[in-house]
Amino acid sequence: MAIYDYSVKDKNDNEISLGEYKGKVLLIVNTASKCGFTSQYEGLEKIYEKYKEQGFEVLAFPCNQFGAQEPGSQEEIQSFCSLNFGTQFPIFKKIDVNGSSATPLYEYLKKEAPGIMGTKAIKWNFTKFLVDKEGKVVKRFAPKDKPEELSADIEKLL
């Protein structure tokens, strides 16, 4: 399996093949609206705007598994992100990233880029995965890693 073999649901519950993103550098992030890291939406939007013309995409996946910090409906999540952070990158349907109900995409990401000391579980909101133009998961970033700090890694892949 490769990242392009996976499909996800968009905000309107439509099935989207990640194959649509072939040839682009991706930053895949599990997000939440009521988290101490929520302000990272601003940084995500800034790097998206900075690099999108060069073939970069941010793919956000709301998740309510950490402290129930994403309790809203899909509409509430979209509205919150748009109004507070002016987000233009895609925010997909809310998912689980850990456990038996984890989406297959996140099972793949965790296998390809384990965390510290080989741990696979996502520890918190705003864990980030950087994927190159060939669909290879090249790096995993911790929630505390701010999006604006990822520029050098992104530029290497563009």
63 catalytic per annotation: no
**Catalytic entry in 8, 27, 29, 35:** 35
What's the Cα-to-Cα distance from 56 to each of 27, 39, 102, 133, 157, rounded to whole Å?
Answer: 8, 21, 25, 9, 9
Please name the residues in contact with 47: beta carbons below 8 A apart, sequence gap of 6 or more. 27, 56, 58, 147, 148, 150, 151, 154
Catalytic site positions: 35
